[in-house]
């Protein structure tokens, strides 16, 4: 069926990419769009429901501009930055405070240096001594010894975004333009796709209702693997984050800081203005949750929600603080959670019409870097639905099961930290005392 503005469209998932897609559909004039999610925006299990996310060019992507992947990365970055700088829905949530990338081992230091040299677009200041690092922030913030740290500081074109507020803003504008959101469980919780006559004709929700649509767009993040056989193209992988409560005086001192990111230790951004909580992540190649899927008995990494992190992750967070801000290293956490994303084998997104089900569109595979493009990503998902996606993007983001045959599930995919291995939640025995074993 040809598309027109009355085409009925279902989006499964009101997270980062689902809200962006809803907004772009509404802006293009589609009048019959419904978004399903087990939770109101911001969903507590959305990877985008977070106080902040980093925004910076993946500098290695620009090493050779004639290369197709570099073209795709540049096009995505330019469209996203256009949104962060000029779109009233997003621009107040972007903070261009700069970005410090660092590493501690010789191999990663060399890798970072190579990336910086390949990035002809940016200006860097190299940081070679503990004093160089300490001087990047006001006195009293970075008091650590920075053992073996080397890195660079990029002052412009990078920083952080208030993720949760940007997500809420995208959903609110989509709603204002006429998109219907069906939040909550059971009515918003999609349990299966509707398979009919060799196609997908909508979705079934946990209240037993069948919702028919001309197009179905699957944007369920890491949970998408529970609704479709992705032929091993998605690996749900989780990371760990924790918050520390700051005093109002500390929050004032920590305002407008550059993001500090050590690719082996972790990263932090300034405390959020409302609650004065400083968020940090310990860096590692991620955790999977290997279980036999109740749906088909196959061994899969399946996401689950938990407002706690493994004790080993807490220790890594505290070691990161000891090296950078020892004055905070023993302060109790005020919040912690695991946060899921879906990795493709090469960490490029998966945005395509399904080859077997013509009415199903996929917007998945955020691969750990899918938030910074929230202003633009929905536009590319709608392009895929309309068949107008830029050919190089379509090639990069295509349905590509051939790349996942005999997939190495332990591939760190270029990430470092902890033991430099992908870890398994099934082997974790101790969780932090903060928070609870959430039944979200």
Whichever of 132 and 280 has its CB closer to ligand FAD, that residue is 280
Give the CA radius of gyration of the chain.
21
Determine phi and psi for 300, rounding to 5 degrees: -140, 155
CA distance 60 to 34: 38
Whichever of 202 and 370 has its CB closer to ligand FAD, that residue is 370
Q: How far is the CB of 18 from ligand FAD (least distance, A)?
A: 6
Parallel/antiparallel/unpaired status of strands 360-364 and 215-218: parallel
Q: How far is the CB of 66 from ligand FAD (least distance, A)?
A: 25
The DSSP secondary structure of 189-226, one letter per residue, reads: -EEEEEEETTEEEEEEETTS-EEE-SEEEE--GGGGGG
Q: How far is the CB of 122 from ligand FAD (least distance, A)?
A: 17
Binding site for ligand FAD (CB under 6 A): 12-18, 36-39, 43, 45-48, 53-54, 189-190, 219-221, 223, 239, 241, 281, 339-341, 364, 366, 368-372
Whichever of 72 and 132 has its CB closer to ligand FAD, that residue is 72
Q: What residues are paired with 236 via a beta bridge?
A: 342
The strands making up 210-212's β-sheet, listed across from edge to edge, are 190-196, 199-205, 210-212
Nearest residue to 283 (alpha-carbon basis) of 252, 326, 325, 240: 240
Q: How far is the CB of 12 from ligand FAD (least distance, A)?
A: 5
CA distance 276 to 365: 32
Q: How far is the CB of 199 from ligand FAD (least distance, A)?
A: 20
Whichever of 141 and 338 has its CB closer to ligand FAD, that residue is 338
Cα 333 to Cα 251, 311, 380, 420, distances in angstroms: 16, 12, 38, 25
Q: What residues are paired with 318 via a beta bridge?
A: none
Parallel/antiparallel/unpaired status of strands 277-282 and 32-37: unpaired
Whichever of 37 and 250 has its CB closer to ligand FAD, that residue is 37
Residue nearest to ligand FAD (CB): 15
Whichever of 144 and 303 has its CB closer to ligand FAD, that residue is 303
Q: How far is the CB of 223 from ligand FAD (least distance, A)?
A: 3
Q: How far is the CB of 219 from ligand FAD (least distance, A)?
A: 5
Contact 131, 304 (CB under 8 A): no
Q: How far is the CB of 167 from ligand FAD (least distance, A)?
A: 8
Q: Which two tokens stand for residue 11?
A: 């989006």
Whichever of 199 and 226 has its CB closer to ligand FAD, that residue is 226
Nearest residue to 319 (alpha-carbon basis) of 280, 375, 276, 275: 280
Whichever of 51 and 70 has its CB closer to ligand FAD, that residue is 51
């Amino acid at each position: 069926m040809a598309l027109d503005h009355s085409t009925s469209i279902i989006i499964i998932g009101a997270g980062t990419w689902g809200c962006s897609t809803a907004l772009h559909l509404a802006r293009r004039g589609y009048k019959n769009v419904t978004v399903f999610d087990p939770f109101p925006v911001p969903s507590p299990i959305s990877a985008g429901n977070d106080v902040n996310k980093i925004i910076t060019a993946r500098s290695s992507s620009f090493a050779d501009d004639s290369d197709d992947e570099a073209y795709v990365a540049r096009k995505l970055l330019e469209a996203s930055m256009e949104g962060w700088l000029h779109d009233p829905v997003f621009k107040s949530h972007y903070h261009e405070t700069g970005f410090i990338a660092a590493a501690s081992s010789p191999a990663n230091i060399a890798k970072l240096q190579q990336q910086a040299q390949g990035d002809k677009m940016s200006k860097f200041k190299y940081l070679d001594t503990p004093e160089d690092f300490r001087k990047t922030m006001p006195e009293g913030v970075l008091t650590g010894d920075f053992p073996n740290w080397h890195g660079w500081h990029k002052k412009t074109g990078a920083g952080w975004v208030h993720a949760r507020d940007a997500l809420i803003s995208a959903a609110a504008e989509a709603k204002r333009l006429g998109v219907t959101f069906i939040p909550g469980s059971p009515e918003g919780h999609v349990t299966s796709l509707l398979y009919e006559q060799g196609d997908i004709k909508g979705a079934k929700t946990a209240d037993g209702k069948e919702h028919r649509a001309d197009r179905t767009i699957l944007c369920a993040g890491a949970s998408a693997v529970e609704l479709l056989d992705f032929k091993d193209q998605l690996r749900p992988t989780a990371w760990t984050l924790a918050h520390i409560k700051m005093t109002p005086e500390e929050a004032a001192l920590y305002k407008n800081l550059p993001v500090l990111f050590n690719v082996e230790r972790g990263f932090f951004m300034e405390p959020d203005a409302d609650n004065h909580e400083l968020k940090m992540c310990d860096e590692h190649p991620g955790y999977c949750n290997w279980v036999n899927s109740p749906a088909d008995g196959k061994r899969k990494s399946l996401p689950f929600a938990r407002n706690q992190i493994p004790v080993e992750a807490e220790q890594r967070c505290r070691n990161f603080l000891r090296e950078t801000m020892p004055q905070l290293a023993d302060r109790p956490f005020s919040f912690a959670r695991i946060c899921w994303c879906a990795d493709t084998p090469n960490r490029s997104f998966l945005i395509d019409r399904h080859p077997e089900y013509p009415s199903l569109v996929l917007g998945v595979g955020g691969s750990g870097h899918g938030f910074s493009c929230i202003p633009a990503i929905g536009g590319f998902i709608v392009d895929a639905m309309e068949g107008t996606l830029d050919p190089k993007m379509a090639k990069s983001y295509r349905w590509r099961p051939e790349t996942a045959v005999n997939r190495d599930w332990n591939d760190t995919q270029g990430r470092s930290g902890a033991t430099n291995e992908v870890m398994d939640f099934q082997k974790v025995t101790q969780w932090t005392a903060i928070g609870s074993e959430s039944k979200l």
